[in-house]
Amino acid sequence: MPVLLVVGAGLFGSQAAAYARQKGIEVRVFDSGLPGAASPAAAGLFKEAWAGRKLQEHFRPAVAVLDRLYGILHVDLTHDDGTKEGFLFVPPTTILEPNPIRQVVTAVGDGWLEAGGQRHQGWVYVAAGVWSARFLPGLDVHGKAGTSFVFTGEQAGRIRNIAHGRQAIAFVRDPGCTHFSDGTAERDYKDEHERQSLERAAAMGLTAAPVRRLHGLRPYTKGGPIFQKIASRTWLATGGRKMGTILGAVFAQRLVDVEIENSD
At 77-117, the pLDDT tens digits run: 999 999 999 999 999 999 999 999 999 999 999 999 999 99
Domains by residue range for the chain, with CATH: 4-260 (3.50.50.60)
At 52-69, the pLDDT tens digits run: 777 788 899 999 999 999
CA distance 69 to 103: 26
What are the residues whose beta carbons fall under 8 Å from the beta carbon of 21, sequence distance 6 or more?
Answer: 27
Q: Is a pLDDT exceeding 70 seen at residue 2?
A: yes
21 alpha-carbon distance from chain centroid? 19
Nearest C-alpha neighbor of 153 from the set 183, 169, 174: 174
Q: What pLDDT was estimated at residue 264?
A: 63
Q: For 61, phi and psi rounded to 5 degrees?
A: -60, -35
Q: What pLDDT was estimated at residue 174?
A: 96
CA distance 229 to 26: 20
Q: What pLDDT was estimated at residue 40?
A: 94
Average pLDDT in the chain: 95
CA distance 26 to 1: 8
